Structure 1
Amino acid sequence: MKDSKSIYELLNNMKIDLNDYEKEELNDVEKQSLKRTFRSDTVRTFNFKKIASITAALVLTVGVLSQTDFGKGVYAAAESKISEITYSIGKSLGIERDIEPYANVVNQVVEDKGVAVKITDAIIDKDELILTTIFDTGREVNSFCLDYDVFINGKKINNGRSGTMGPIDESKNLYFAADYIDVKDIDTSSDIDIRIKIDEINYHLKDKEERIKGNWEFEFTANGEELNANTNVIPLEYQFNIDGIQYSLNEYRYNPVSQKIIGKINGKGRNDYDVELRGSDNLGNEVVFYLSRSNKDEMVFKYEDIKGDLSDGIESISLTPYATKFPEKSGRMNNDFKQVGEEFTIYLNN
């Protein structure tokens, strides 16, 4: 094909009726586990949860084109089945409202050592870069992890990241990922140049691990101006204490893509607790914010969207902090959350 870019644009504009495909819903526990693959800003390997059908958490529009002359040409041009797969970034992130106007379409495919990687979309959410990616491992693997570097405007980003990753189907060689990368030290008010460099992928096979070294590199430009214009910030003054450590909540930031409560942790000692802010909005809908990341400079709680988007019509949110201690040794997380502070209310500027 002479113009692969136009091919991708055509594929992105295709509409497939998903009612023609079999769906299997995940229960709330499975959805929560998938959404919270990461809770630490320093962990860079991914844990997988096998899903019978990804449709409930990641809605894919699969272009089944290989049986047509046009499809055969596209496949031959890209030399990878992932070139035939596209999806809504909003649905892949678990967001029901339309966030396509805020997405930067990338659709770049790079193949090396028999592994194909496709970055599909990027969103700039003020101090966070959101990427959605598809992987074709070229062989059956139980799971895999990778290490990659992010450069913005030529500067390597060493901040924390979190995300989810899992299988797309039962083939054990197609996987998806959604990454949230902290870019708080970067000016994202205008266009930014982004370079993603993957040089190592580690396969987890049935009885061994295998390391694949290669070069999967992507360069593109993204802009978050429109999303920033639709972002609201409400100052907060609320504190609670756990074992002598003070948690201060300073602002509630919300837009069509994300809803975050941002604060700081003060005091000596270790932060050994997982913290949630639980409550409801003024319409009676359940609301939960989970601790997405924390370090010596900042902590960020994100809205847990298992129950769907926050309603655009709500006027206030009332929340209470709960906490549970992290296990001293690696193992099953303790879900025995206990109340650690009084209820507080956030009044929205609607």
Structure 2
Amino acid sequence: MKEIYSLLNDVETDIDSYCPQDLTDIEKTKLKEQIKKRIGKPEKNGKRKRYAAVAACVAVCVIALGTLNFSDLVYASAKSIAWQISNFLGIEKNLQDYTTVVGTSKTDKGYTIKLNEIILDENQLVVSSSVQSKQKLSEGGVIASADVYVNGKRVSVAAGGSSRALDDYTEESLLDYELEDIDTSSRLDIELVYTDILQGSKVTNGKWAFHFEADGSKLAEATVHKDLNNSFTLPDGSKLVLTEYTSNDLGQKIYFKVENWEYEKNPMYDLELEGKDDQGNKIIFDMSYFDGEEKTGRLNVRMIEGVVPESAKWVMLKPYAVKMPEKSGKMSHDFVEIGDSFTIKLSD
């Protein structure tokens, strides 16, 4: 099982609240010692354009939440039976119509990165890849960070995902890259460029570049959109507004915005929506992404709890929030209710 990494600032967290049965006490201790986060740092223009992303261990458990700046990555662990995206996500549906198989490898500085499959989803590039080292990997595994370019312009702003060791020399991962100001419902000319690999405390600089085309039109056409207008008050008095619900074969998402909130003044919050559908299935949405400058974000359905079934007629959810630490410190899981339950009508 892969520990969580970052490049800056330790954050303590309660592993038991996320993975109560999947890890031994020793594994939880090791994992807890490795959990870290990245705090958004000032840009050259003096602004703090802050991004938050959740690294969800989609096949095992949700591990941690971190604040990321551009392509800094937070990783969690996952079990899968192969590198196919559908297997990583635990999805039984055939994603072939939406998947681009790249299947090429690049080698530099003793590491080989193989790009397996990719899927263009709304505002995201989902990437399945593996890293192989000529030398045995350290216990902590390896992190390969990349930037996404479309038509020569860098468009990735944050990423999160999951990974696992295949053997002593190879690790595979599934990462969701957040793309800014890009229409992913069409064919795009994409370059994915890895520039450094972190193993333990050692950073190896190099270049592993992949060029390919991908088309997100079919998945976009198959995505259901429902407008929302549910408002709640956050603990600092700012306003959370849910704006849209979407659903496709990759899962469900709920988009939101915040009002009366400034990223240079107000605290950031971790958000959660918890409830059930009309069939009694437990449904949870976790905050996956937040753009502090645009004041918009997204919650993704928690895959380990199960997606919303196609046959569901409605979903009833209750909103919760907890303040995120502005600097390194203990991540709190003391979520508090910020409003009453609400219902999203899915079908007649």
Q: TM-score, normalised by structure 2?
A: 0.76
Q: Aligned pair in 2 of structure 1 residues 45, 227: CA closer, same or farther (>3 Å)?
A: closer
Deviating more after overlay: 144-153 vs 325-334? 325-334
Count of residues in Structure 1 that have an aligned counterpart in Structure 2: 287
How far off its partner does 1:109 sit? 0.9
Distance (Å, rounded) in 2 between the aligned partners of 1:198 and 1:152: 15
The answer as to whether partners of 1:35 and 1:164 remain within 8 angstroms in 2 is: no
Distance (Å, rounded) in 2 between the aligned partners of 1:244 and 1:267: 8
CA root-mean-square deviation: 2.3
Whichever residue aligns with residue 337 of structure 1, its letter is F
The equivalent of 1:99 in structure 2 is 95
The answer as to whether partners of 2:273 and 2:319 remain within 8 angstroms in 1 is: yes
How far off its partner does 1:344 sit? 0.5
Whichever residue aligns with residue 225 of structure 2, its letter is V
One of 107, 118, 122 as aligned partner of 2:118: 122
The equivalent of 1:303 in structure 2 is 301
The answer as to whether partners of 1:48 and 1:165 remain within 8 angstroms in 2 is: yes
Whichever residue aligns with residue 180 of structure 1, its letter is D
Distance (Å, rounded) in 2 between the aligned partners of 1:29 and 1:340: 30
- The answer to whether structure 1 residue 250 and structure 2 residue 243 are counterparts is yes
Q: Aligned pair in 2 of structure 1 residues 38, 123: CA closer, same or farther (>3 Å)?
A: farther
Distance (Å, rounded) in 1 between the aligned partners of 2:209 and 2:74: 20
Deviations 1:207-248 (A, max 9, x none): xx2221222110111111111111110000101111111111
The answer as to whether partners of 2:267 and 2:324 remain within 8 angstroms in 1 is: no
How far off its partner does 1:138 sit? 2.5
Whichever residue aligns with residue 121 of structure 1, its letter is E
The equivalent of 1:40 in structure 2 is 67
Q: Aligned pair in 2 of structure 1 residues 137, 219: CA closer, same or farther (>3 Å)?
A: same
Whichever residue aligns with residue 245 of structure 2, its letter is Y
Please list every run of 5 or more consecutive structure 2 residues that lacks an aligned counterpart in the other structure.
1-18, 24-56
The equivalent of 2:8 in structure 1 is none
The equivalent of 2:85 in structure 1 is 89
Distance (Å, rounded) in 2 between the aligned partners of 1:153 and 1:28: 45
Please list every run of 5 or more consecutive structure 1 residues that lacks an aligned counterpart in the other structure.
1-25, 61-86
- Percent identity reads 28
Distance (Å, rounded) in 1 between the aligned partners of 2:131 and 2:62: 19
Q: Aligned pair in 2 of structure 1 residues 112, 144: CA closer, same or farther (>3 Å)?
A: same
Q: Aligned pair in 2 of structure 1 residues 28, 127: CA closer, same or farther (>3 Å)?
A: farther
Higher relative contact order (CA 8 A, sep 6+): 2
How far off its partner does 1:342 sit? 0.9
The equivalent of 1:267 in structure 2 is 260
Distance (Å, rounded) in 2 between the aligned partners of 1:221 and 1:155: 15
Map 1:1-350 → 2, pairs under 5 A = 35-42=62-69, 44-47=72-75, 49=77, 57-60=79-82, 87-139=83-135, 140-141=137-138, 142-169=140-167, 171=168, 173-204=169-200, 209-242=201-234, 243-268=236-261, 269-295=265-291, 296-297=293-294, 298-327=296-325, 329-349=327-347
Q: Aligned pair in 2 of structure 1 residues 231, 45: CA closer, same or farther (>3 Å)?
A: closer
Distance (Å, rounded) in 2 between the aligned partners of 1:333 and 1:156: 31
The answer as to whether partners of 1:123 and 1:224 remain within 8 angstroms in 2 is: yes
More strand by share: 2
Q: Secondary structure of 1:307's partner?
A: coil
How far off its partner does 1:47 sit? 4.1
Q: Which has the larger radius of gyration?
A: 1
The answer as to whether partners of 2:112 and 2:133 remain within 8 angstroms in 1 is: yes
The equivalent of 2:53 in structure 1 is none
Deviating more after overlay: 150-159 vs 254-263? 150-159
More helix by share: 1
Distance (Å, rounded) in 2 between the aligned partners of 1:125 and 1:45: 19
How far off its partner does 1:200 sit? 1.4
Whichever residue aligns with residue 67 of structure 2, its letter is S
Q: TM-score, normalised by structure 1?
A: 0.75
How far off its partner does 1:119 sit? 0.9
Distance (Å, rounded) in 1 between the aligned partners of 2:230 and 2:266: 21
